[in-house]
A and B are shown apart, each in its own frame.
Chain A
């Protein structure tokens, strides 16, 4: 019997014979913690292991991205707790200037194809974008991983999803992602690995893959992979990460728990309506929904290409009076790129606020929070009640958010 991609990655990291639904102990290539969860990891570690060294300091990292630089004293304290532990253990810290940890791990070539990576970020399965098995875990798991370099894991079943048809601008990878989420809901991929095939996903560039794989979390899936790719993607990822891109492919005779088809022919822009990410409608159904604010950023849509797309729509125009647009680059590298390419200036001149990189509103960070009654259209990945404050958050592509900020209501980018 052949193996699926997730079975192959896990098999590379354990001596036990891997098959779906079996619990195995596996080795972890990278173990990380953030400024959320991180302080709990330090506390656990010191209580359980005292000053004993971590299993491998070169495979262990802190990535501060939640509340950066800290806007509250408690986060300032928590980050310092992690820094001091890191100094004692000689662990590298990607500090408050670096941006979203999962993205930094990809940029640095630490999360690479066929590797296993854990951290305290529930969207760490975003690393499926580069063929890595990333998994968000709680602070007990991560503490144990710091000390032992291992974790137990129930090998997930894999569902194969064939995406049929193709679409064109202004529909983007985010619209595709939201539509797939609408079709899979939180049940069809729940607790499973997902392999996505078909023309519409094969052609996705790395930022598009990041967007798609990031929202496997909202599908309640374990990890998502897009196994097929062209030569340009291999060069793109190798250039991006400075590492060789050589991901696993599924065996012909591997076993899938289910095979599903989703037709995306001629797909229009999609929007997730509060308060569930899979409550997705066509943008045309939401015409006239007035907005107070827009947000472009997050691990889902915070790459240079996402911000460039928004700036193409906003360039030379002004955001509607009374609407605020908040832009947060995913990482310091993205910040540098938008600065050098003039994207930052175009966004600024249109009236946008541009903050330093990080997770921002998704976790009560600096910007992206809503007040009671506020309506926000966001490129983020979650719109649960209360998640970003008491307002209502609609999820959409950077293009839809930019267009909506020009008109003051939810707008199809082709109409501006």
Chain B
């Protein structure tokens, strides 16, 4: 299966002023009250459950959807749950100008696609990306296409390590693959 492309419907995480919400921390993504849960399948219901304006996200999202977020997405704690909740909902990709360092690693290691895109704020400001649009993104090149508007954008491509881990289906599978060498 070709894994270097993904296409899906986007959710743009805007605040009341129609700007991308920045610094969304892991407590807003997945509150610490539910950290005792260890089954990924149970995590989806709490996704964005503590983020003002988006608490019903888990009910609105469909498998394959793409999340567009502001800079420093996933700041804060190290909880894997904050990635697991999106895997649980079968979200296809998260794009943000930047991510919390641990969050980014957690996503990569889970084989969950995350891409950085510096021009995201600008794209959102000029309404080149709006909730409901269908987009297609190439992980290797970073080339993005807004299918609904037939406009293009550019994200940073995955690094070789990130793509290899994603392609293997996560860090564990990748580790087994390289140890067989």
Residue of B nearest to A22 (CB): B159
Contact yes or no, B79 A222, CB < 8 A: no
Q: From B10-18, B31-39, B143-151, give the one contacting chain A.
A: B31-39
Contact yes or no, B175 A144, CB < 8 A: yes
Residue of B nearest to A48 (CB): B172
Q: Is A137 an interface residue (CB 8 A)?
A: yes
Within B3-42, which residues are at the interface with A (CB < 8 Å)? 23, 25, 27-28, 31-33, 35-36, 38
Distance to closest chain B CB from A404 (angstroms): 25
Contact yes or no, B98 A191, CB < 8 A: yes
Q: Is A39 an interface residue (CB 8 A)?
A: yes
Distance to closest chain A CB from B115 (angstroms): 15
**Please, how many angstroms separate the alpha-carbon atoms of A285 and B100 in the complex?**
31
**Please, how many angstroms separate the alpha-carbon atoms of A384 and B25 in the complex?**
8
What are the residues of chain A within 8 A of B38 when measuring CB–CB? Answer: 39-40, 43
Contact yes or no, B109 A36, CB < 8 A: no
**Please, how many angstroms separate the alpha-carbon atoms of A364 and B100 in the complex?**
22
Contact yes or no, B36 A138, CB < 8 A: no
Distance to closest chain B CB from A203 (angstroms): 30
Q: Is B117 an interface residue (CB 8 A)?
A: no
Q: Contact string, A123-154, partner B, CB cutoff 8 A, digits 1/0? A: 00000000000011111110110011000101
What are the residues of chain B within 8 A of A147 when measuring CB–CB? Answer: 175
Contact yes or no, B75 A186, CB < 8 A: yes
Q: Is A346 an interface residue (CB 8 A)?
A: no
**Please, how many angstroms separate the alpha-carbon atoms of A23 and B75 in the complex?**
21
Q: Count B-side interface residues using an 8 Å CB cutoff.
A: 36
Residue of A nearest to B31 (CB): A386
What are the residues of chain A within 8 A of B110 when measuring CB–CB? Answer: 140
Residue of B nearest to A140 (CB): B109
Residue of B nearest to A124 (CB): B78
Within B112-153, which residues are at the interface with A (CB < 8 Å)? none
If A75-B36, A122-B78, A186-B72 touch, whether A191 touches B101 (CB-CB below 8 Å) is yes
If A43-B38, A78-B36, A141-B106 touch, whether A136 touches B78 (CB-CB below 8 Å) is yes
Q: Contact string, B60-90, partner A, CB cutoff 8 A, digits 1/0? A: 0000000000011001111110010000000
What are the residues of chain A within 8 A of B172 when measuring CB–CB? Answer: 44, 48, 140, 143-144
**Please, how many angstroms separate the alpha-carbon atoms of A136 and B100 in the complex?**
12
What are the residues of chain B within 8 A of A154 when measuring CB–CB? Answer: 159
Q: Is B154 an interface residue (CB 8 A)?
A: no
**Please, how many angstroms separate the alpha-carbon atoms of A167 and B62 in the complex?**
55
Distance to closest chain A CB from B34 (angstroms): 10
If A40-B38, A144-B171 touch, whether A122 touches B76 (CB-CB below 8 Å) is yes
Q: Contact string, B168-181, partner A, CB cutoff 8 A, digits 1/0? A: 00111001000000
- B32, B33, B72, B171: the one within 8 Å of A220 (CB): B72
Residue of A nearest to B23 (CB): A186
Q: Is A120 an interface residue (CB 8 A)?
A: yes
**Please, how many angstroms separate the alpha-carbon atoms of A138 and B80 in the complex?**
5
**Please, how many angstroms separate the alpha-carbon atoms of A121 and B171 in the complex?**
20
What are the residues of chain B within 8 A of A155 when measuring CB–CB? Answer: none
Q: Is A272 an interface residue (CB 8 A)?
A: no
Within A156-206, which residues are at the interface with B (CB < 8 Å)? 186-187, 190-191
- A37, A141, A148, A382: the one within 8 Å of B109 (CB): A141
Contact yes or no, B101 A138, CB < 8 A: no
Contact yes or no, A220 B101, CB < 8 A: yes
Contact yes or no, A37 B27, CB < 8 A: no
Contact yes or no, A190 B98, CB < 8 A: yes
Distance to closest chain A CB from B163 (angstroms): 11
What are the residues of chain A within 8 A of B32 when measuring CB–CB? Answer: 363-364, 387
**Please, how many angstroms separate the alpha-carbon atoms of A269 and B116 in the complex?**
38
Distance to closest chain A CB from B120 (angstroms): 15
Residue of A nearest to B103 (CB): A138
**Please, how many angstroms separate the alpha-carbon atoms of A37 and B31 in the complex?**
14
Contact yes or no, B76 A137, CB < 8 A: no
**Please, how many angstroms separate the alpha-carbon atoms of A39 and B101 in the complex?**
22
Q: Is A74 an interface residue (CB 8 A)?
A: yes
Residue of A nearest to B108 (CB): A152
Within A27-85, which residues are at the interface with B (CB < 8 Å)? 36-37, 39-40, 43-44, 48, 72, 74-75, 78
**Please, how many angstroms separate the alpha-carbon atoms of A72 and B76 in the complex?**
24
10 interchain residue pairs of minimum CB distance: A138-B106, A74-B36, A138-B80, A140-B109, A136-B78, A122-B78, A122-B77, A139-B80, A48-B172, A23-B161
12 extra interface residue pairs, beta carbon distance < 8 Å, beyond A136-B78, A386-B28: A36-B35, A36-B79, A136-B102, A138-B102, A139-B80, A141-B106, A154-B159, A364-B33, A364-B35, A384-B76, A385-B50, A386-B27
Give chain A's interface residues, CB within 8 Å of chain B: 23, 36-37, 39-40, 43-44, 48, 72, 74-75, 78, 120-122, 135-141, 143-144, 147-148, 152, 154, 186-187, 190-191, 220, 222, 276, 363-364, 382, 384-387
A–B Cβ pairs within 8 angstroms, 16 of them: A72-B36, A137-B78, A137-B102, A137-B105, A138-B102, A138-B106, A140-B170, A144-B171, A144-B172, A147-B175, A186-B23, A220-B72, A222-B101, A364-B33, A384-B28, A386-B27
